[in-house]
Amino acid sequence: MKRVKRFMPMALIALLLIGGFQSVFAQKAPTVIPEVVSSQGMVASAHPLASQVGLDILKAGGNAVDAVVATAFANGVVEPNANGLGGEGYIVIYRKAENKATSIDYRSRASFNPAKAGEKWPSYGHRAVAVPGTVAGLTTALEKYGTMSLAQVIEPAAKLAEEGFVVSDTLAGTISDNFKKATENPYLMSIIAPTGLPLEAGDVYKNPDLAKTLRLIAKEGPDAFYKGEIAKAIAADMKAHGGLIDENDLAQYKAIEREPATGLYRGYDIVSAPAPVGGFLLIQSLNMLENYNLKFLGFDSAMKLHLFAEVLARAFDDYYNVLGDPDYVDVPMKALTSQGYADAKAKSIKLDAMTSKYDKVDPNSEHWSTTHMSVVDKDGNVVALTQTLSSFFGAAVAVPGTGVILNNEMGNFNGKSGSSAYAPGKRMNTTIAPTLIMKDGKSFATLGTPGAMRIVPTLAQIVTNLIDYGMGIQEAIEAPRMYCTYLQGPGKTTIELEGAFFPKKTLDDLALLGYKIKSYDKRDLYFGGVQGIIIEDGQLHGGADPRRDGAVFGY
């Protein structure tokens, strides 16, 4: 469908008011990490050991799903602060032979045991834990779309847990930052602080109990986790410490295959994770941005950053007011991802002034912390997978004897009402959005990021970096980022950005527009850790984020 592009005349006036723009990214910029190029297969993840596991699977004849599942299990070992068997996630899969995309929801969900009236979920501890989905999600993906056995894809992870690996500066930092809450769980302390002091960079991290758990799952399948010995251990630990999850909750958990959320941006098809997560937020943001000539505005102009703040604030209205578990509420996904709905929301944006109050648009009124990995195989199958514990080290609860660190996803119900409110057995909202991009029926990119509420803003910036500004994947990942999704009006709204990499004039112009500025002096972990691969001219180009321990390997 051909779209009529609008470019607001006010943009030119605003540019004159602000004094033009500069663009340090007009030409290809050198990158901190070299872009990786290969022709057969590629894996990008947040840790080199996990990426190597995935690459080994591809070289052994596995497909993209085999590789991403192996990478995910391994990443749960080597990035234990961000994901693992006690967490959850979402996977988006494109199968070239069938020319079809699908997604698997393995979000955690609340216990069927009712909470106390008006309960506010704690940020950590047993009461914060939701039923984990990782094992169900990864095994479902492997069974339906992989070619290898569960034992084949799990053993590399088990070996890493058993033999150990060297702690990086990034992992050491997260252990240190979360050490205080970990001290309340002696078993977790035995894993991340075996001498009583937090592991430091250069130390060796081992989790032999997790190795045994992984091998038990490899032998007995997901039932070992949801109905067998591990389930009993989780339920017993919950009961002993006031948690809600019991054996029935675990036994009834299922991963769910869902139709992906889809949209179109400047001729590129966007395929992302649907409700109850954030793919539609990305699509809706891009739909609004399509009304503007971003290239003309300039990558690092105050005008472009202001536009992103306005667009993202309007998209996030629906995260709070409309999104929910589609098994519990009717989520109007087609309306939320339609161009007409986005155009209606964008009408109130002014490029020369910040808005703090605007009329909300009803999507039914017209027909309109975490980790990521990306894989492409030699047959053209493409996968994007994002999984999480929610906060770093989740609930700071590890189940004795299992090596499993549990999530703190229940906190995602706090402050939510209507469609996103808590209910027993319900899956909570989050903003994770593993995403594929297609062009003319062919795969163009697979990407995703951690970063909590920064996930969608970061991905919107990466997509526009690639499509509007013509950056390579590594350049797009390393480019400086911003975050602002809540507008309170001039003098009250804070825009956060990696200010050390923007011209001083841009920061000054944002201040003139009324923004308070929180500037970071480096590429910061706060803004996520994008891993991505693009496919151009028969070659795979991989990018990994220097904000984390990202690594991309290909052959």
**For 265-290, how does the pLDDT look when each residue is reduced to its tens digit (9 = 90+)?**
999 999 999 999 999 999 999 999 99
Quote the pLDDT of residue 49.
Answer: 97
Owning domain of residue 109? 48-257+379-420
Q: Which amino acid is at 364?
A: N
Give me the residue label for tokens 């539609």: 280
* Candidate list 370, 446, 485, 506, residue with the active-site label: 370
Our measurement of the distance from residue 189's CA atom to the centroid of its chain's CA atoms, rounded to an integer in Å, reads 27
Contacts of 176 (CB under 8 A, 6+ apart): 198
Q: Are residues 126 and 271 in the same domain?
A: no
Strand partners, 497: 482, 519
Tell me whether the omega of the peptide bond preceding residue 276 falls within 30 degrees of 0, making it cis.
yes
Phi/psi zone of residue 156: left (φ > 0), alpha (ψ -120 to 50 degrees), beta?
alpha
Centre a 10 Å sphere on the Cβ of residue 333 and count the other Cβ atoms it contains. Answer: 22
Region 342-362: what's the mean pLDDT?
A: 83
Q: Are residues 348 and 455 in the same domain?
A: yes
Contacts of 38 (CB under 8 A, 6+ apart): 539, 540, 542, 554, 555
* Each residue's pLDDT tens digit, 240-267: 999 999 999 999 999 999 999 999 999 9
Region 389-399: what's the mean pLDDT?
A: 95
Which sign does the torsion angle of CA 348, 350, 351, 357 carry?
Answer: negative
**Is residue 43 one of the residues assigned to a domain?**
no
Quote the pLDDT of residue 417.
Answer: 86
**Is residue 3 one of the residues assigned to a domain?**
no
**Least trusted range by pLDDT, from 20-29, 96-105, 376-385:** 20-29
What is the rounded CA–CA span in Å between residue 136 and residue 106?
7
Half-sphere exposure of 190 (CA within 13 A, CB side): 15
Quote the pLDDT of residue 2.
Answer: 36
Half-sphere exposure of 468 (CA within 13 A, CB side): 22
Residue 353 pLDDT level (bands cut at 50, 70, 90):
confident
Q: What percent of the chain has pLDDT over 70?
A: 93
**Is residue 528 one of the residues assigned to a domain?**
yes
Contact 250, 234 (CB under 8 A): yes
**For the chain, how many structural domains are there in total?**
2
Q: Are residues 385 and 507 in the same domain?
A: no
Quote the pLDDT of residue 3.
Answer: 41
Q: Are residues 270 and 411 in the same domain?
A: no
For the cut 80, the answer to whether the pLDDT of residue 500 exceeds it is yes
Q: Which two tokens stand for residue 39?
A: 């022709």
Quote the pLDDT of residue 84.
Answer: 97
What DSSP designation does 500 have? G
**Is residue 2 one of the residues assigned to a domain?**
no
Nearest to 279 by CA among 92, 84, 72: 92
Q: Are residues 85 and 208 in the same domain?
A: yes
Instruction: Give ∠ CA 134-213-370 in degrees, rounded to 5.
Output: 30
Contact 469, 266 (CB under 8 A): no
Contact 137, 91 (CB under 8 A): yes
Q: Are residues 451 and 541 in the same domain?
A: yes
**Is residue 39 one of the residues assigned to a domain?**
no
Quote the pLDDT of residue 359.
Answer: 64
Please state the three-class secondary structure of 48-85 as a single string. HHHHHHHHHHHHCCCCHHHHHHHHHHHHHHHCCCCCCC
Is 386 marked active-site?
A: no
Give me the residue label for tokens 């050390």: 500
Our measurement of the distance from residue 127's CA atom to the centroid of its chain's CA atoms, rounded to an integer in Å, reads 24
Q: Are residues 438 and 391 in the same domain?
A: no
Nearest to 282 by CA among 357, 342, 326: 342
Q: Are residues 321 and 336 in the same domain?
A: yes
Q: Which amino acid is at 215?
A: R
Rg over CA atoms, the chain: 22
Instruction: Give ∠ CA 114-120-121 in degrees, rounded to 5.
Output: 80
Q: Are residues 29 and 98 in the same domain?
A: no
Quote the pLDDT of residue 28.
Answer: 54
Determine the longest span between alpha carbons in the chain, in angstroms: 68
For the cut 90, the answer to whether the pLDDT of residue 29 exceeds it is no
Which sign does the torsion angle of CA 514, 518, 524, 530 carry?
Answer: negative
**Is residue 471 one of the residues assigned to a domain?**
yes
Nearest to 443 by CA among 381, 384, 530: 381
Q: Which two tokens stand for residue 432?
A: 């994770």
**Is residue 42 one of the residues assigned to a domain?**
no
Phi/psi zone of residue 20: left (φ > 0), alpha (ψ -120 to 50 degrees), beta?
left
What CATH number does the domain containing 326 carry? Answer: 3.60.20.40
Quote the pLDDT of residue 10.
Answer: 42
The enclosing H or E element of 162 equals: helix 150-163
What is the rounded CA–CA span in Å between residue 345 and residue 162?
52
**Least trusted range by pLDDT, from 20-29, 168-177, 342-351:** 20-29
To the nearest whole number, what is the mean pLDDT of the chain?
Answer: 91
Contact 300, 502 (CB under 8 A): yes
Our measurement of the distance from residue 371's CA atom to the centroid of its chain's CA atoms, rounded to an integer in Å, reads 6
Contact 380, 96 (CB under 8 A): yes
Q: Are residues 356 and 229 in the same domain?
A: no
Q: Are residues 230 and 149 in the same domain?
A: yes
Q: Which two tokens stand for residue 354?
A: 């910040």
Q: Are residues 217 and 316 in the same domain?
A: no
Contact 297, 244 (CB under 8 A): no
Helices (H), 221-332: 223-226, 229-240, 247-251, 279-289, 294-297, 302-321
Q: Is 137 helix (H, G, I), strand (E, B) or coil?
A: helix
For the cut 60, the answer to whether the pLDDT of residue 16 exceeds it is no
Nearest to 333 by CA among 285, 279, 381: 279
**Is residue 312 one of the residues assigned to a domain?**
yes
What is the rounded CA–CA span in Å between residue 493 and residue 392?
27
What is the rounded CA–CA span in Å between residue 253 and residue 135?
10
The enclosing H or E element of 163 equals: helix 150-163
